[in-house]
């Protein structure tokens, strides 16, 4: 009897030891994973924020340059300003997908080096245009060279059109993190880039005070200095930009193995998965990819409208040129705080659609106050709501697609397709607010309401479909997206 009791106690003790050891292993593994994420964060995110910031400044600074005298000097009457805005986008829309298709086969460092150097040079050249036609030409070149990249490790560059860093940055970030670690990173990257770029209003005011120095008008200095800084950034980029995980020599073998396991467990991710024609066709035939991608059009049309026209709207409220430039910044500070909070909350609750819908509604309320607010205070509130809503919704839209597209090759097509829609949204945002509708811009507001309403309807439909599919997977064992245990993110 005692022997049996002693044996039982020994078994219990051994079981307790194993349980304690299992807990210690789990805690150790969790600590190693946390350190790995922090290491990736510090290597990947800061340089992407810096590059995104100057991409936005070089592209959107035309808004503050316009009110600083460029509109008068270049005779931007009628729809000329809208034309100068939209010429940046068409070529980018045509070539966005081929850029991402070969991105894994080339050097990411070379891609960024060539892109940054060329777009900085062209941005700087804006300072020397003399006519509207020349402005249009350099805007086209800006869109062209912001997408320059190195297709081999030689000094030859092939030029593709890509008027922003978003597709590359989104694809790069989504390749490094699991689904529910992604939005907080994308939100932080996007929000901080937008925040720093928003200070271009204050920067523009400071540079405009150099009017007359070296024989240049103030608005020319607004282009010259940021362009020079961008060119200078190209060289440290070569050493700081991070490659894809399978090419990351700065990760230790055990860290890379751990990352492989985490991605595989999360969404059956294969780092070395190769693009084939059949996989490309399969991706393009997936209607969900098209609907998820199209959501970005509706949100970016609103965001670009505010980026391009906020100084003009502020001037219509009676503010002088200096205040119209300076007051652009505070709404983006508020949007940055809200965006980062949204990213953390969305990852915690593992949902995207409520934030797309909620911020879409906030944007609509903002546009309503801009158009029909009874006084300046109400209209200023509308500017804040519109900027906060549109800026916070965009990372949610990015992540909604990235979370629900399985496989690196499929995402290589889905992400640039999404940013193609974003480029179309840029064209729409360029023409919604026409000069002849100044200062109330009612047709542009109606168009914005329509776009945002469609966005909310499409999002609601996708959520309904994903919920039904998840239910079938739970109750009937249906395998979703060819990946066992995968569930759609709502």
Task: Pick the most confident of 63-67, 88-92, 269-273.
Answer: 63-67
Backbone angles phi, psi at 149, to 5 degrees: -155, 160
Task: Give the integer Cα–Cα distance in Å for 442 and 316.
Answer: 14
* Beta-bridge mates of residue 158: 149
Whole-angstrom CA distances from 342 to 60, 62, 106 are: 25, 29, 34
Average pLDDT for residues 250-276, to the nearest whole number? 72
Contacts of 111 (CB under 8 A, 6+ apart): 103, 149, 150, 168
| Range in 258-262, 277-281, 461-465 with the lowest mean pLDDT | 277-281
* pLDDT score, position 352: 92
DSSP codes, 238-282: HHH----GGG-TTS-HHHHHHHHHHHHHHH---TTPPP-HHHHHH
CB count within 10 Å of CB 468 equals 11
Find, among 171, 52, 59, the residue nearest to 417 by Cα.
171
pLDDT in tens, 97-110: 666 555 556 666 77
Q: Which token pair is 178?
A: 């699991």
pTM of the model: 0.72
CATH architecture label of 41-246+281-476: Up-down Bundle (1.20)
Q: From CA 401, how far away is CA 418, in angstroms rounded?
A: 8
| Alpha-carbon 205 to chain mean position | 27
State the Cα–Cα distance between residues 96 and 374, nearest whole angstrom: 43
> Cα angle vertex 322, ends 318, 326, to 5°?
100
Longest Cα–Cα distance in the chain: 104
Q: What are the structure tokens assigned to 211, written together? A: 């009017």
Taking the alpha carbons at both ends of the chain, their separation in whole angstroms is 58
Q: Is the pLDDT of residue 470 over 90?
A: yes
Q: Which residue has the higher pLDDT, 387 or 26?
A: 387
Give the whole-angstrom CA distance, residue 392 versus residue 157: 35
Instruction: Write out pLDDT tens, residues 120-171.
Output: 888 888 899 999 998 888 887 776 654 433 222 222 222 323 334 566 677 7
What is the structure's pLDDT at 486? 85
Distance CA 87, CA 106 (A): 28
DSSP code, position 69: I
On the 0-12 / 13-18 / 19+ scale of CB atoms within 10 A, 280 is: middle
What span, in angstroms and rounded, lies between the C-alpha atoms of 11 and 13? 5
More confident residue, 365 or 442: 365
Contact 335, 191 (CB under 8 A): yes
pLDDT tens track for 67-104: 888 988 998 888 888 888 777 777 666 666 666 555 55
140: helix, strand or coil = helix
When comparing pLDDT for 5 and 170, which is higher?
170
Tokens of 153: 């490790």
97 near 418, Cβ under 8 Å? no
> What is the H or E stretch that residue 298 is in?
helix 287-316
What is the chain's mean pLDDT, rounded? 79
Beta bridge partners of 159: 148
Count CB neighbours of 320 within 10 A. Answer: 11
Scanning the structure block, which residue is given the tokens 């990015």? Answer: 398
pLDDT mean over 281-298: 88
């Amino acid at each position: 009897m005692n022997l049996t009791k002693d044996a039982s106690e020994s078994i219990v003790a051994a079981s307790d030891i194993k349980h304690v050891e299992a807990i210690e292993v789990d805690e150790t593994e969790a600590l190693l994973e946390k350190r790995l994420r922090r290491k990736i964060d510090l290597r990947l995110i800061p340089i992407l924020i810096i590059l995104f910031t100057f991409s936005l400044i070089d592209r959107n600074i035309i808004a503050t340059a316009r009110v600083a005298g460029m509109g008068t000097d270049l005779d931007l009457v009628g729809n000329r300003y809208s034309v100068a805005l939209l010429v940046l986008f068409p070529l980018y829309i045509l070539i966005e997908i081929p850029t991402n298709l070969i991105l894994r086969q080339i050097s990411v460092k070379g891609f960024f080096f060539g892109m940054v150097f060329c777009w900085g040079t062209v941005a700087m050249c804006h300072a020397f245009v003399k006519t509207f036609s020349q402005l249009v030409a350099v805007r086209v070149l800006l869109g062209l060279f912001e997408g320059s990249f190195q297709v081999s490790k030689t000094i030859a560059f092939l030029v593709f059109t890509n008027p922003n860093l978003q597709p590359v940055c989104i694809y790069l970030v989504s390749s490094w993190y699991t689904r529910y670690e992604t939005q907080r990173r994308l939100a932080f990257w996007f929000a901080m880039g937008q925040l720093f770029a928003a200070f271009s209003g204050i920067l523009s005011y400071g540079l405009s005070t150099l009017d007359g120095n070296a024989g240049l008008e103030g608005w020319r200095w607004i282009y010259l200095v940021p362009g020079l800084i961008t060119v200078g950034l190209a060289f440290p980029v070569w050493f700081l930009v991070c490659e894809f995980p399978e090419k990351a020599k700065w990760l230790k073998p055990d860290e890379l193995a751990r990352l492989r396991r985490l991605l595989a467990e999360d969404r059956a991710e294969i780092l070395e998965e190769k693009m084939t024609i059949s996989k490309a066709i399969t991706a393009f035939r997936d209607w969900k990819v098209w609907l998820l991608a199209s959501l970005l059009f509706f949100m970016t049309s609103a965001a670009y409208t505010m980026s391009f026209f906020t100084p003009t709207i502020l001037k219509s409220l009676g503010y002088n040129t200096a205040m119209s430039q300076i007051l652009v910044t505070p709404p983006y500070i508020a949007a940055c705080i809200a965006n980062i909070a949204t990213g953390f909350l969305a990852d915690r609750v593992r949902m995207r659609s409520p934030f797309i819908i909620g911020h879409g509604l906030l944007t609509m309320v903002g546009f309503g106050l801009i158009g029909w607010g009874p006084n300046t205070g109400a209209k200023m509130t509308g500017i804040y709501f519109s900027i906060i809503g549109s800026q916070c919704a965009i990372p949610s839209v990015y992540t909604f697609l990235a979370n629900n597209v399985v496989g690196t090759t499929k995402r290589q097509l889905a992400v640039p397709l999404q940013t193609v829609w974003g480029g179309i949204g840029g064209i729409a945002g360029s023409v919604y607010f026409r000069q002849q509708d100044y200062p109330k811009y009612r047709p542009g507001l109606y168009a914005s309401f329509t776009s945002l309403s469609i966005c909310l309807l499409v999002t609601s439909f996708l959520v309904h479909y994903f919920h039904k599919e998840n239910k079938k997977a739970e109750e009937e064992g249906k395998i979703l997206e060819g990946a066992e245990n995968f569930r759609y993110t709502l």
